[in-house]
């Protein structure tokens, strides 16, 4: 292996594909398409065309109308625009928001901001595998409900929610549905038009594109209040000079993504990883075996302090959960929602594969993780506490 750590943290971010880098570079230098896409001169028109071409490529991957794609700085901004923009545009005096306890912090923290404004918030529980049902959503909706927000693929455990069924439920009650698809686009099929989703957050850097660029899909007829002011870019929903190179990078990223090709390959690597790690005594899978995205594996190693294991595995880049919460000493809110104790949640690892992960990488990771678990258990003098934690 090289001196560089083996990278198995692709759910946090991914290496940018060389073809994406090349497309972005063409938009940066004085000989490239660096002009402001809002300018009226010929260079601006060329840049504008590149932006529109990228918009079409993003829309094509998720089966959406290109004019519904609004470029943002990433899925976090998209989540904020979808949620706050929906409530700011709704005239009802009483307002209600429905989401789940296992959402990304960019949704949960925005829900808290709504509560400060006296919006009622319902946080749905999941089952022991991380699944939330359409029936739960239906039971939670009231006459005051403005928006339901459900993540398609959970960023920590990889569970896939049945967005199509949830969308039908929301439509039957005339309630808007927002979906965070940051982890799913490019890995598994996303069919926004077919499912009837109203709003959907997307990002490039989870699919081998650049950081700092994302999009919000806004279905026809959906009205949002902008959260940034100072320009009429992006249909007046997102002020600011369009970053042509970033947008072109996202377009190329989504053009290269092929869920029907990439998904099965990633699933083989993930399954290979699970088979190898499954030989470790006491190991458990966090999440659903049957409804899981192909790139994420979250495991619990009872009796092994997770931070100690991660430090011991300095030659492998893994995580305890969401990278956005890496400075938080508290156990993962997602794993706690599955019913894991604090000790078990803190004994868990998230491993995630990507386009550049090879079978040999998996073999080496299994060997290294197994060896470190055995070493840490030996240091504990073989105490059987891990068997009953």
Residue 104: which H helix or E strand, with range? none
Beta bridge partners of 96: 120, 145
Residue with tokens 């192909």: 294
Helix axes 244-256, 18-25, angle to 10 degrees: 150
> Which DSSP symbol is given to 66?
G
* Element at 316 (helix H, strand E): strand 316-317
Cα–chain center distance at 144: 28
Pick the catalytic residue from 27, 170, 324, 387.
324
CB atoms within 10 A of CB 47: 25
- Among 149, 181, 10, 174, smallest CA distance to 82 is for 149
Nearest in space to 317 (alpha carbons), one of 9, 4, 13: 9
Which pair of structure tokens corresponds to residue 266?
A: 């990633």
Active site residue 27: no
How many whole angstroms separate alpha carbon 333 and alpha carbon 325?
A: 10
Which sequence positions are flagged as catalytic?
A: 324
């Amino acid at each position: 292996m090289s001196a560089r750590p083996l990278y198995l943290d692709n759910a946090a971010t991914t290496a940018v594909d060389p073809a994406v880098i090349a497309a972005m570079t063409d938009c940066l230098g004085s000989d490239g398409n660096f002009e402001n896409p809002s300018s009226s001169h010929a260079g601006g028109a060329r840049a504008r065309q590149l932006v529109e071409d990228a918009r079409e490529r993003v829309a094509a991957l998720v089966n959406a109308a290109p004019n519904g794609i609004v470029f943002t700085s990433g899925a976090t901004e998209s989540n904020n625009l979808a949620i706050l923009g929906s409530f700011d545009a709704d005239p009802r005096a009483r307002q209600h928001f429905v989401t789940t306890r296992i959402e990304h912090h960019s949704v949960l923290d925005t829900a808290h901001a709504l509560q400060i404004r006296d919006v009622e918030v319902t946080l749905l529980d999941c089952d022991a595998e991380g699944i939330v049902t359409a029936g739960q959503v239906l039971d939670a909706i009231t006459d005051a409900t403005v928006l339901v927000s459900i993540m398609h693929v959970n960023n920590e455990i990889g569970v896939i929610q049945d967005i199509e069924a949830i969308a039908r439920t929301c439509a039957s009650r005339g309630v808007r549905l927002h979906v965070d698809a940051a982890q799913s686009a490019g890995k598994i099929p996303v069919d926004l038009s077919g499912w009837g989703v109203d709003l959907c957050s997307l990002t490039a850097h989870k699919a081998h594109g650049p950081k700092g660029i994302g999009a919000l899909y806004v279905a026809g007829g959906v009205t949002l209040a902008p959260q940034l002011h100072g320009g009429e870019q992006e249909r007046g929903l997102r002020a600011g000079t369009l970053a042509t190179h970033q947008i072109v990078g996202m377009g190329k990223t989504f053009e290269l993504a092929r869920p029907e090709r990439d998904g099965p390959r990633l699933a083989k690597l993930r399954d290979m990883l699970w088979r190898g790690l499954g030989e470790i005594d006491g190991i458990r899978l966090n999440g659903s075996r049957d409804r899981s995205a192909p790139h994420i594996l979250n495991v619990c190693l009872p009796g092994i302090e997770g931070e100690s294991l991660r430090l011991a595995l300095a030659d492998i880049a893994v995580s305890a959960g969401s990278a956005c919460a890496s400075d938080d000493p508290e156990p993962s809110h997602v794993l706690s929602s599955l019913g894991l104790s604090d000790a078990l949640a803190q004994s868990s690892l998230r491993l995630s594969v990507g386009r550049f992960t090879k079978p040999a990488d998996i073999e080496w990771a299994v060997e290294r993780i197994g060896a470190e678990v055995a070493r840490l258990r030996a240091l504990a003098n073989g105490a059987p506490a891990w068997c009953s934690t």
